[in-house]
Structure 1
Amino acid sequence: MIIKEMDHIETNDPLLQAGFCAESQLAFYLKREFKDDPLFLIFNNLRFEKAGDACQIDHLVLHRYGMIIIESKSVTTRVEVNELGEWKRWFNNAWQGMPSPILQAQRQGKFIKDYLEANVETLLNKKLFGNQSHFTKMPIDVLVAISDSGIINRPKSDKLDIVCKADQIPDKIKGISTAYRKKDSLFNFSLEIAYELEKDEIPRISQFLLVHNQPAKINVSSNINSKSTNNSNQPSSDITNPSISKPIATDKPTPLPKKIIPVPPSNHQQSDISHKPIIKTVKPTSTNTCSHCQSPNLSIAYVHSYFFKCNDCSKNTAIKNICTSCGDRAKIRKSGLQFFSECEKCNTSRLFHTNF
């Protein structure tokens, strides 16, 4: 299931545009493959801050055996990896060195594991004899997605299976999950025990990621000369991709609906990206509870209007959708399993609830 769609960006910077295009391309493949699959929860464009550090994750997959972090790279020419794991790309008719996206994704994995562990008592259940479960042993696999139009030159001594074209990523994700499932099988005679999240832990982790996501502030007035600005003193958030050539074309275009921030990839969205309205996003909250049993295990349903249906006591609760900024009544917009609270007066849109 797609839990978090792509965040739309407003910028004239060709580097940011190309990076957004590559991420949109992969987001399209992920949505096409997993939009109706409850075993894989897909998050696009997550960003977290902690103690002056920032972590930007292009795509994150949450499944019963752990997580998968996918780093998207916009490559319209060639990338090459040598025997020492050093990366370079062909740009402007010359080879240029670049940071390893594998190491980049691994650093993101360490950050998110530490970030979750700091809240382990509220996210994970206690096991037998009251022992607390932990995220320290949770596996976080990494994948690197290269644009479909790019060419990958691999080292002779390593197939480098975790680096592939964007359209191959869904199969890689299912392969990783299958490998863990075999370890968890009764026919697994090895001593290795697979890490497994409990059924009620997964929605708690999912909601935690949504609530604590802090979108990066993009300078909408940036122009083509802004790429020469050096921001080395700011925390590394992995937002920009160095040495990116022109944006890549993706699959069939989808027009941007009014007041929607997430968008699928488009062949033509780059041509009018500077003309779309700027929508202010608000960090989602998770204070909704059943008015009868106070359970947070709710789903939004619709008959003549939207209301909460408690999954524990089966009773209904009215939705009081009030804008947190101005206090006026806001509207509810449904997008898949996500419900957004939108205030026309404040021009804001925030994630209000996600059905599981």
Structure 2
Amino acid sequence: MILKDKTQTSSSSLKLDAGIKQEHDVAFYLRRAYKNSDNVMVLNDLRIEHDGESAQIDHLIVYTYGFIVVESKSIRGEVKVNEYGEWSRSYKGLWSGVPSPIKQAELQLKLLKQYLCANTEKVIGKFLGIQQGLGARCYDVFCAISSDAIIDRSKAPKDIATKLVKSEFVTDALDKKMNFIKFYNLAAKIADTRPTFNQDELLCICNFLLGDIQQQNVVNEAQAVWAAPATLMTNTAAGSVQPTPQAAVITKPPTKAVAVDAVAAQCKHCGQCSGLTAQSGRYGYYVQCGSCGGNTPLKRPCPACNSLNTKVSRAKAVYRLNCADCSTIATVEFNSN
């Protein structure tokens, strides 16, 4: 689920534009992979402040077992990482050292963990199901490098080499790290001792991260277009670098409430839309799947304005999704046959 989009930005600097385009490419792959996921929340361009320090995180993944920071880096040419974890890159045949984006991401992750742990009571106050606090969760980092870079990992320490991926492989690396165990693999689920967040807890954590600090950027912003990744620069015959033509930026007007007749429930585990039975529990209303036995919350973002400030109400056999922000009311339909 994409809870904070990557905004379309512009800059007068070709170097900055290349970095912005790289972040858009990574955000595109994240959106394609996780936009319909209830267990993976994506927050792009997240800013946090804690203890006099601040960090601008390119992409934060909040998932069932913890948190992953993804740092985007636009690097053309060849990149090498030596046995000490030191980075160097070539430009027009000349080599120079560059700061480690893995170390940068680790510093951001450390500040995020300190920030969450320092506000544990504030976050926990929004839900009751969390156990073992926030410090015991999984915290990891990755660096997504431009697809046209040449990466030499031959001498890099293993723990660094596995965190360095090209943009198009970033979701493969994330899926492997998150390691979601299939619902039917009971033995593996029993052996998995990682503490978990449920969907309501994930949404509460993300709401805290988005709401506690004013989210802003230092460049002019417009709504993201979500174009497919493409090369930002091309080399001319003379060897100079010129920007490739790009599609016009589409600025969308503010979202207004619309009439929504109904939203359909679907099992998040096996995708079934039939054989669903409505239930109520500690965290509200949900449906149980007759095919796989999995539970799926009826609560979801508002279909009109995408707000997370929603709740599910029931009147006899009718369930409704109510949005507190735009006042949209949608009937939640599910097929019990």
TM-score, normalized by length of structure 2?
A: 0.65
Does the CA contact (< 8 Å) of 2:131 and 2:195 recur in 1? no
CA shift in 2, pair 1:268/1:71, >3 Å: closer
Does the CA contact (< 8 Å) of 1:26 and 1:72 recur in 2? yes
Aligned to 1:135: 134
Aligned to 2:103: 103
Aligned to 1:12: 12
CA RMSD of aligned residues (A): 3.9
Identity of aligned residues (%): 29
> Could you tell me how far apart the structure 2 residues matched to 1:181 and 1:68 are?
21
Kindly indicate whether residue 26 of structure 2 is the aligned counterpart of residue 26 of structure 1: yes
Give the letter for the 1:142 counterpart: V
Does the CA contact (< 8 Å) of 2:84 and 2:157 recur in 1? no
Does the CA contact (< 8 Å) of 2:84 and 2:156 recur in 1? no
The aligned length equals 262
Using the TM superposition, give the Cα deviation of residue 83 of structure 1 relative to its aligned residue in structure 2, in angstroms: 0.5
> Could you tell me how far apart the structure 2 residues matched to 1:150 and 1:140 are?
27
Kindly indicate whether residue 39 of structure 2 is the aligned counterpart of residue 39 of structure 1: yes
Give the letter for the 1:161 counterpart: T
Kindly indicate whether residue 224 of structure 2 is the aligned counterpart of residue 262 of structure 1: yes
Using the TM superposition, give the Cα deviation of residue 149 of structure 1 relative to its aligned residue in structure 2, in angstroms: 0.2
Aligned to 1:146: 145
Kindly indicate whether residue 302 of structure 2 is the aligned counterpart of residue 300 of structure 1: yes
Using the TM superposition, give the Cα deviation of residue 260 of structure 1 relative to its aligned residue in structure 2, in angstroms: 4.8
More moved, 94-103 vs 34-43: 34-43
Does the CA contact (< 8 Å) of 2:65 and 2:195 recur in 1? yes
CA shift in 2, pair 1:110/1:185, >3 Å: farther
CA shift in 2, pair 1:261/1:109, >3 Å: same
Give the letter for the 1:146 counterpart: I
Does the CA contact (< 8 Å) of 1:71 and 1:101 recur in 2? yes
Aligned to 1:85: 85
Residues 110-143 of structure 1, C-alpha deviation per residue, up to 9 Å, x if partnerless? 111111222212423557xxx9642111111111
CA shift in 2, pair 1:299/1:43, >3 Å: closer
> Could you tell me how far apart the structure 1 residues matched to 2:94 and 2:26 are?
27
Kindly indicate whether residue 72 of structure 2 is the aligned counterpart of residue 75 of structure 1: no
Runs of 5+ unmatched residues, structure 2: 233-242, 255-283, 285-298, 329-337
Residues 273-330 of structure 1, C-alpha deviation per residue, up to 9 Å, x if partnerless? 8x96999x9xxxxxxxxxxxxx9x675356xxx9x863144567686769xxxxxxxx
Q: Which protein is richer in strand relative to its size?
A: 2
Aligned to 1:114: 114
CA shift in 2, pair 1:137/1:84, >3 Å: same
Secondary structure, in 3 states, of the residue corresponding to 2:154?
coil
> Could you tell me how far apart the structure 1 residues matched to 2:300 and 2:140 are?
31
Aligned to 1:167: 168
Ranked by relative contact order (alpha carbons within 8 Å, sequence separation 6 or more), the top structure is: 1
